[in-house]
């Protein structure tokens, strides 16, 4: 099937690469020309396990194409995916990127009843209220000249390819049966269950899913804060709780709270939608408030342990919001570094992938090429991201610090004595 994808970010490029690998002819467009040039050369502009090889193989096989010429991508395509970013401003979702992309699509759609499939996350009701009128304004009557589906994405950065290849479920919110049929046909060789719903239900499934994941994280963090007071290890508690099949162990890793481009943005947008409808979002408000205070807990613990941070040299291990990605969007590391700078500390940081991205936010702190370099000469350190390599940290590494102390924002399996380490929500 000929497919166009507008927006070649984490969602768009992962989807394009997987669909091309399944034998479809997929062309991506993106307003970022540098990204397009890189993809054309068979390289992935994003750090995601397995994405680089998938891009390279499918570009070589000419099943995957990238183009700055939008007409090339959209003309004759049976399905046009829109996977552009939808940021929020003061909690309100901003639709300009999406509207531009829809306009681009309508300019070049030629196939008989092409289907516009919205992958971008939109608050419930947005597709009907904002996108359908836009199609009409551009001379396309939805349901007559073209189809529309809401097809939310549930991937996690770091495991994007695996998640796109084998999603737990595929949700299709359809304007009409014909649109849903065509999109279902594209997914017919996926093993995952497909559910077909109204567009609004599909939009809500995405928001409810992300909110529930965030609820689990803030909940286990709050329980973790109590566990720490009681000298109980929250990870042992999470194991016991997670064995209950009604709950599951996923998203019960306590620590410095969640970051990334999605959870925070989506919850803010849902709170704002609730406010507009006169509904109190007290659970959602609490999730955000726990998350904010959790992000700075490691600095508070550090201060309790070593006193004033003024003039102290503090190492940061890990900058990305989670392992497996170079993305630092809303990473707890941003808040932690800010707190340290405000307290007069000198910061030195290391991340295996994200140093360059964090330099765009903090250009003035020192960056190192290895974690041992960070520990050497630091007074103490905070571990923010649980990259695999940090499991190798041992007593010798920690002894490189003048006041050996590692505050752990995430739990790792290191070999260092307990007296040199302290967890944010565990002993």
- Summarize as ranges the residues that interact with ligand NAD (CB under 6 A): 6-12, 29-32, 35, 83-86, 97, 100-101, 119-121, 153, 155, 157, 261-262
The strand pairing partners of 350, in sequence order, are 317
As measured in angstroms, the least distance from the Cβ of 260 to ligand NAD is 7
Which of 186/375 has CB closer to ligand NAD? 186
As measured in angstroms, the least distance from the Cβ of 330 to ligand NAD is 12
As measured in angstroms, the least distance from the Cβ of 246 to ligand NAD is 25
Which of 6/149 has CB closer to ligand NAD? 6
Which of 269/416 has CB closer to ligand NAD? 269
Residue 359: burial class (beta carbons within 10 Å; 0-12, 13-18, 19+):
middle
Which of 322/411 has CB closer to ligand NAD? 322
As measured in angstroms, the least distance from the Cβ of 91 to ligand NAD is 14
As measured in angstroms, the least distance from the Cβ of 101 to ligand NAD is 4
| Chain residue whose CB lies nearest ligand NAD | 9
Which of 155/340 has CB closer to ligand NAD? 155
Q: Which residues are catalytic?
A: 262
The strand pairing partners of 408, in sequence order, are 383, 423
CA 198: distance to chain centroid? 25
As measured in angstroms, the least distance from the Cβ of 274 to ligand NAD is 18
Which of 210/218 has CB closer to ligand NAD? 210
């Amino acid at each position: 099937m000929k497919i166009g994808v507008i927006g070649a970010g984490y969602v768009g490029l992962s989807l394009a690469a997987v669909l091309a690998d399944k034998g479809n002819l997929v062309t991506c467009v993106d307003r970022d020309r540098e990204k397009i040039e890189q993809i054309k050369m068979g390289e992935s502009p994003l750090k995601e396990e397995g994405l680089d090889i998938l891009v390279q193989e499918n570009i070589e096989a000419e099943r995957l194409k990238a183009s700055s010429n939008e007409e090339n991508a959209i003309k004759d395509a049976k399905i046009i995916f829109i996977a552009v970013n939808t940021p929020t401003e003061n909690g309100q979702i901003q639709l300009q990127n999406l509207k531009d992309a829809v306009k681009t699509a309508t300019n070049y759609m030629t196939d008989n009843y092409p289907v516009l499939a919205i992958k971008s996350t939109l608050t419930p009701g947005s597709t009907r209220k904002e996108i359908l009128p836009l199609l009409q304004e551009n001379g396309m009557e939805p349901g007559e000249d073209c189809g529309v589906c809401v097809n939310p994405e549930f991937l996690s950065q770091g495991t994007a390819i695996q998640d796109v290849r084998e999603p737990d479920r595929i949700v299709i919110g359809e304007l009409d049966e014909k649109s849903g049929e065509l999109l279902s046909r594209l997914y017919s060789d996926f093993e995952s269950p497909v559910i077909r719903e109204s567009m609004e239900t599909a939009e809500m499934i995405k928001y409810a899913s992300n909110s529930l994941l965030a609820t689990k994280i803030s909940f286990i963090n709050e329980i973790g804060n109590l566990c720490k007071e009681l000298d109980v290890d929250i990870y042992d508690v999470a194991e016991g709780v997670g064995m209950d099949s009604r709950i599951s162990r996923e998203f019960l890793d306590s620590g410095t709270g969640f970051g990334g481009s999605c959870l925070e943005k989506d919850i803010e947008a849902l709170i704002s939608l609730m406010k507009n409808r006169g509904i109190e979002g007290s659970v959602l408000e609490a999730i955000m408030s726990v998350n904010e205070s959790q992000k700075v807990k490691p600095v508070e613990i550090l201060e309790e342990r070593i006193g004033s941070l003024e003039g102290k040299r503090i190492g940061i291990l890990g900058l990305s919001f989670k392992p497996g990605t170079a993305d630092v969007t809303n990473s707890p590391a941003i808040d932690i570094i800010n707190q340290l700078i405000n307290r007069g500390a000198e910061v030195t940081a290391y991340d295996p992938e994200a140093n360059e991205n964090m330099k765009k936010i903090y250009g003035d702190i020192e960056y190192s090429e290895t974690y041992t370099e960070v520990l050497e000469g630091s007074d103490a350190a905070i571990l923010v991201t649980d990259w695999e390599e940090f499991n190798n940290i041992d007593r010798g590494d920690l002894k490189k610090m003048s006041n050996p102390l590692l505050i752990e924002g995430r739990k790792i399996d290191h070999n260092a004595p307990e007296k040199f380490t302290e967890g944010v929500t565990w002993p």
